[in-house]
Amino acid sequence: MTAVMEHTAARTLIDETLFSRLATRITIDHGMDHDMAERIMDQALAFLAAAATNRCAPISPSPMVDIGWHTFILYTREYAEFCQRIAGRFIHHVPDDESDTADRVSAHDEGRSPTLVAIEHAGYAIDPELWPLTDGSCGPCHEEGNCAASGKDGNENTDKRTK
């Protein structure tokens, strides 16, 4: 017999009111429709849930999913409470400050597969449209969203991530 693992929507990890506030903020700040903003926020929560339990390969969000992470971090109290609840620690946002774009794209692509595996392993659904393998525009966190969760110990508070 084959076991089938059901994947749930990550939006269930937070209160519906907070989820709506975050999606609305994405809609306003990034000029996209509310449905897309909700999808982005759901995948950001799935990524964070995976980062909370992943102790294997480094994982990082796609540029679109990183929008959701950036948005959630703005709500510092709620973000800190969420991190404590799902991870028992703060999940730091660690930008990739590599200077070589080709290296950033390669490193980002290498991190994508382990990220998707970690999300599925954590039991959350993946929205494939928000996780393209290569979009050719990966860059520093503040420009295109090439970021990662804090390192192996999950508690690093570093200013930047380098190779």
- The CA distance from 4 to 35, in Å, is 28
What stretch of H or E contains 92? Answer: none
Q: Is the pLDDT of residue 137 over 80?
A: no
CB atoms within 10 A of CB 101: 15
pLDDT at 43 over 50: yes
pLDDT the model gives residue 97 = 75
Query: Is the residue at 105 inside a domain?
Result: yes
Give me the pLDDT at residue 148, please: 54
Q: How many other CB atoms are there within 10 angstroms of residue 139's CB atom?
A: 18
Helix (H) or strand (E) holding 28: helix 16-30
**Type of residue numbered 144:** E
| 41: in domain | yes
Whether residue 145 lies inside any domain: the answer is: yes
Residue 36 included in any domain:
yes
Note the pLDDT of residue 55.
Answer: 78
Do the domain assignments include residue 114? Answer: yes
Contact 95, 108 (CB under 8 A): no
| Per-residue pLDDT tens digits for 75-97 | 999 999 999 999 999 999 988 77
Question: b/e per residue, 105-127, with b = 16+ CB within 10 A?
Answer: bebbeebbebbbbbbeebebebb
**Does residue 4 sit within a domain?**
no
* Angle formed at CA 149 by CA 54 and CA 139, multiple of 5 degrees: 135
Residue 6 lies inside a defined structural domain of this protein: no
Q: Containing domain of residue 65, as a range? A: 14-149
Per-residue confidence (pLDDT) for residue 138, from 0 to 100: 36
Model's pTM, two decimal places?
A: 0.76
Residue 163 included in any domain: no
pLDDT interval class at 67 (50, 70, 90): very high
**Number of folded domains that form the chain:** 1
